[in-house]
Amino acid sequence: MKKILSVSLILACCFSAVAGNKNILPYKDASLPVEERVEDLLSRMTLDEKIAQLNQYSLGSNDNVNNNGEMVKVLPPEIGSLLYTADDAVSRNAMQKRAMEETRLGIPILFGYDTVHGYRTIYPIPLAQGASWNPDLAGEACRVAAQESYDVGIDWTFSPMVDVARDPRWGRVAEGYGEDPYLTSVFGASAVKAYQGDDMSEPGNIAACLKHYVGYGASEAGRDYVYTEISRQSLWSTYLPPFEAGVKAGAATLMSSFNDISGTPGSANHYTMTEILKEMWGHDGFVVGDWHAVKQLVTQGMAPDDATAVEYAINAGLDMDMTDNLYMPHLASLVESGRVSVDRIDDAVRRILRIKFRLGLFEHPYVEEKPENERILLPESLDVARRLAEETFVLLKNEEDVLPLKPGQKVALIGPMAKSQKDLLGSWHGRGLAEDVVSIFDGLSEVLTEAPAYAAGCGFEGDDRSGFDEAVKTASEADVVVLCLGERYSWSGENASRSTIALPEIQEDLLKAVKAAGKPVVVLLSNGRALDLTRISPLADAVLEIWQPGIMGGPAVASVLTGKTNPSGRLTVTFPYTTGQIPIYYCQRHPARDGSQGRYQDIPSTPMYEFGYGLSYTSYDYGTLTVSADSFTVNDTVTARVAVTNAGDMDGKETVQWYVCDPYSTITRPVKELKHFEKKLIPAGESCTFEFEIDPMRDLSYVNWKGERILEPGDYYIIVKDQKVCITLE
């Protein structure tokens, strides 16, 4: 049978070549439309060649401790994709050469990698990027990441992560943009466009991957890899919107998630992968499973054996198997026994080939081997990383204007984070190196006339308080203390859940001890999640959240502390009062009783710092909120406007956050929902007008549990800061 097949294939090849009157096979002809090339190539492939395209193996030593599993010894050159963990183009090109020259059809391999917040020029973690409220600037950073990745031979990044996450115990909150579906959608779409550019085949562009599809952020109790209980309504209103926005932005691929979505794991979920993504949204790229997600269908208690896991996954719509090495050995017999159809295989192969063609891999399979100084840590890349870091910092408290530091002040720099380099990188730091990072100490030393006096005080955790005395002495000899606390880079990210979001006691004790020296204390926090600051905030005169800012963290901190840059970050995750308030997020639905009922007896029921919160060194006065019409029809657009004046004496960037509220609706709706935001520089003393063009269907409607968009007549509120106006849909 196989022989007959290959003879007919050879004949088909010759025929097309002659029929096209060219010396080139149609699928190799770049002048033909992608779809024609895909169909031509597919028609020439054997079942084994097709199945090979549906696998991703791993090339190079693995640098993620959670990606454990068997490494493949022999890499077949017919393979669809490789997870490429080496760091130069040489081995990549060598492997590609085998695919191009030693295989029958010469189909290039797709090289994927986790370039999450930078490849070598590591910029702030995604959670921090969200806090910048500047998706364009975050996009600039993604461009740098794409260029550095492309130059080393990466065609495809497993980013952006657009999981809405509302439990800071879950370590992966660091990898997303926060708790809000709209803000996550905007940043996700911006990242997709930045990675892919207008045309993925242009040099420097790489394919994006929206992950983890879907609902991974709902991990129960903040533990990783566990069950998620997600109603169809929450799926549609909370977890799907960022994926839909990313698909609309053109995302080439999606990664199916590990989590069990109310009884059906994301990687075996026909409803999400096929019915929603491919049928309703018309996505024509492909879905890759997360690392070992197919095998895990067995662990999750769904498939009794590997073959059944493969059957469930591929039939649900998972096109490429990441490093499980299960599609390769099982698919042919599943096809033979009729458990998987050839049509499904063809559909999956088409999707993968389409992306390879769109990336221009058939025309440009190899990457130019450039010297490091032409491709990584370029001055303009460092500049983007610094500017982005500066905009992500959130000033949470600033009593008596202790910040910015005053010229000539003697600064004591204390704490375990002060000289740390690696921790500022955060999790998933690609090929970033600790030695690339400018520490807070080095950054400040650069700009202060007198280098800060330094004492570590203690480690990040443990009981060794022997450094406290020196820290207190250093504090007492200074005019102001900058105390650098926070989380190690490995305390967030994958498989990094924590049962409490408070910092270890020793760090809180260091603050107490240093505070007793009687000097103003600025607490600088570097971390990958919302923290419980109940015992920290009251003792601090100022608190600056710097997240995990990447390699330019030190200079960015120096610029903000000294007032060269006015802090403009705003939280995109609620900081609970304590861990016990979780889940707490701004867009909760109305409770049945309000006032004093339904409250905690032992702690406040309001958060410590809410979504959207952040201070500045200047103050902004908001004028009266106006709307262009009080009532409207579904086809009208209403414009809401507010003028904002910078009433202080320092230039600053203000983000106006526009929320809507539908007070009464057939299904209950959140107390308010972010629908638009804009960040602008307002010079001191000047005013700027901000606008929100309200498209009723887009901005006021809701999506029901079936994914239908519903707009109901009645009143809606448009909310900005503490003002709201009512508009009525006739």
> Which residues of the chain form contacts with ligand NOJ (CB under 6 A)?
64, 67, 114, 158, 211, 290-291, 494
- Is the CB of 87 or the CB of 114 nearer to ligand NOJ? 114
- Bridge partners, residue 397, by sequence: 543
Determine the Cα–Cα distance for residues 176 and 612; give it in Å rounded to an integer: 16
Determine the Cα–Cα distance for residues 342 and 348; give it in Å rounded to an integer: 10
Contact, 560 vs 520, CB < 8 A? no
Contact, 138 vs 388, CB < 8 A? yes
In degrees, rounded to 5, the angle at the alpha carbon of residue 587 between the alpha carbons of residues 585 and 591 is: 95
In degrees, rounded to 5, the angle at the alpha carbon of residue 298 between the alpha carbons of residues 292 and 299 is: 80
What are the helix and strand counts (H, E) for the chain?
A: 20, 28
Instruction: Report, in Å, the least distance between residue 114 CB and ligand NOJ.
Output: 5
- Is the CB of 289 or the CB of 443 nearer to ligand NOJ? 289
- Is the CB of 5 or the CB of 71 nearer to ligand NOJ? 71
Peptide bond into 604 cis (omega under 30): no
- Is the CB of 213 or the CB of 577 nearer to ligand NOJ? 213
- In the residue annotation, 180 being an active-site residue is answered as no
Instruction: Report, in Å, the least distance between residue 139 CB and ligand NOJ.
Output: 20
**Marked catalytic residue, from 167, 180, 224, 290:** 290
- Is the CB of 244 or the CB of 290 nearer to ligand NOJ? 290
Instruction: Report, in Å, the least distance between residue 230 CB and ligand NOJ.
Output: 18
Peptide bond into 212 cis (omega under 30): yes
* DSSP, residue by residue, 325-392: --HHHHHHHHHHTTSS-HHHHHHHHHHHHHHHHHTTTTT--S-----GGGTSS-HHHHHHHHHHHHHH
Instruction: Report, in Å, the least distance between residue 85 CB and ligand NOJ.
Output: 9
Instruction: Report, in Å, the least distance between residue 459 CB and ligand NOJ.
Output: 29
Instruction: Report, in Å, the least distance between residue 456 CB and ligand NOJ.
Output: 33
- Is the CB of 493 or the CB of 553 nearer to ligand NOJ? 493
Determine the Cα–Cα distance for residues 484 and 546; give it in Å rounded to an integer: 10
How many Cβ atoms from other residues are within 10 Å of residue 581's Cβ? 19
Phi, psi values for residue 718, rounded to 5°: -105, 125
Instruction: Report, in Å, the least distance between residue 285 CB and ligand NOJ.
Output: 16
Determine the Cα–Cα distance for residues 224 and 255; give it in Å rounded to an integer: 16
Tell me which residue has tokens 């959207």.
612
Determine the Cα–Cα distance for residues 72 and 58; give it in Å rounded to an integer: 7
At 395, is the secondary structure helix, strand, or coil? strand
Instruction: Report, in Å, the least distance between residue 523 CB and ligand NOJ.
Output: 31
- Is the CB of 66 or the CB of 201 nearer to ligand NOJ? 66
- Is the CB of 428 or the CB of 460 nearer to ligand NOJ? 428
How many Cβ atoms from other residues are within 10 Å of residue 229's Cβ? 12
At 264, is the secondary structure helix, strand, or coil? strand
* Catalytically annotated residues: 290
